[in-house]
């Protein structure tokens, strides 16, 4: 198969690219700076997001497009940072829609990254793909706009999957930041520890993205979370065990909010999100429990 990936040089993108190559697919990485990379037998780098680039002229007939592009959420959320978070996602997705419209033959599917932040935060509710309400905080607003932009691909006859990512656990991303206090012997739960963490191992992120490519019945929202979300206090306990560090120092919420500002919503609050579609459709998770996932990463 021929697969194009936007955001293919990031943490998730690198893992997805490797998995596609390993199964014999050809990968086309959409990038602003194709001159920085060397094409090889399996991967080609195609310029986009600049007026001088015409990616539709350098791509073969595509079977799928995966859009993972977007500015990192990590960093103090100044107005400028929030603008980058929002505009990077919306502009990249609009560019994907334009690319699809300009392709003489349309791909079968667009898989567009999204986030479980769509739902806002809650300690009491459980969200599945059938949950329709969305939050009213910054991340929820960004995610809703992001998804609505991606759904324009459907007007071109392209199956569109909104891949709502939970907290991705792997060697990069959120986990190293979460682990740092424990490595410094200062780890512990945050606040009451009751906030939910809907996590997923990087292997299952890759697995579900490839599953969505291959299974034509997967459409619209798809939750990329493990079937067993945990509360922060349990995550802290298991993470401390995995790192062989104490779990002694609870961190007050007000301190996190003071240090991180609005970005603290990623740490202090959460939501319980279940991958109902994946479970019902027969996807086999590599890691279903948090202790299993962290043990694999750290051992």
Q: Are 37 and 29 in contact (CB under 8 A)?
A: yes
Task: Provide the b/e sequence for 239-259 (b: ≥16 CB within 10 Å).
Answer: bbebbebebeeebebeebbee
Res 258: pLDDT: 79
Res 284: pLDDT: 96
Per residue of the chain (299 residues), give pLDDT as tens.
Answer: 999 999 999 999 999 999 999 999 999 999 999 899 999 999 999 999 888 899 999 999 999 999 999 998 888 889 999 999 999 999 999 999 999 999 999 999 999 999 999 999 888 999 999 998 888 899 999 999 999 999 999 999 999 999 999 999 999 988 888 898 889 998 899 888 999 999 999 999 999 999 999 999 999 999 999 999 999 999 999 999 999 999 988 888 788 787 778 877 877 889 999 999 999 999 999 999 999 999 999 98
Res 271: pLDDT: 93
Query: How many domains does the structure of the chain reveal?
Result: 1
Res 178: pLDDT: 87
CATH number for the domain spanning 135: value is 3.40.50.720
Domain range for 219:
2-298
The pair of structure tokens assigned to 286 is 């590599």
């Amino acid at each position: 198969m021929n697969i194009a990936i936007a955001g293919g040089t990031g943490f998730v993108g690198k893992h997805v690219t490797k998995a596609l190559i390993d199964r014999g697919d050809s990968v086309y990485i959409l990038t602003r700076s194709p001159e920085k990379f060397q094409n090889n037998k399996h991967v080609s780098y195609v310029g986009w997001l600049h007026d001088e680039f015409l990616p539709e002229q350098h791509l073969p007939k595509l079977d799928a497009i995966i859009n993972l592009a977007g500015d990192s959420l990590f960093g103090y959320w100044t107005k400028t940072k929030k603008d980058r978070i929002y505009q990077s996602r919306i502009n990249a997705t609009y560019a994907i829609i334009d690319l699809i419209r300009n392709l003489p033959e349309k791909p079968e599917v667009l898989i567009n990254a999204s986030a479980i932040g769509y739902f806002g935060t809650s300690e009491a509710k459980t969200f599945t793909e059938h949950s329709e309400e969305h939050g009213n905080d910054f991340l929820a607003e960004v995610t809703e706009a992001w998804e609505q932009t991606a759904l324009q691909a459907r007007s071109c006859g392209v199956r569109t999957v909104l891949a709502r990512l939970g907290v991705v656990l792997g060697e990069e991303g959120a986990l190293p930041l979460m682990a740092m206090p424990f490595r410094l012997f200062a780890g512990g739960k945050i606040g009451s520890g009751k906030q939910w963490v809907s996590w997923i191992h990087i292997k299952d992120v890759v697995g579900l993205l490839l599953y969505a490519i291959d299974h034509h019945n997967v459409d619209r929202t798809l939750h990329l979370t493990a079937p067993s979300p945990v509360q922060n206090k349990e995550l802290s306990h298991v993470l401390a065990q995995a790192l062989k560090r104490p779990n002694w120092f609870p961190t007050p919420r007000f301190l996190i909010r003071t240090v991180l500002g609005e970005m603290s919503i990623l740490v202090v609050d959460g939501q319980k999100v279940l991958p109902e579609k994946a479970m019902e459709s027969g996807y086999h998770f590599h890691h279903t429990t948090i202790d299993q996932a962290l043990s694999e990463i750290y051992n």
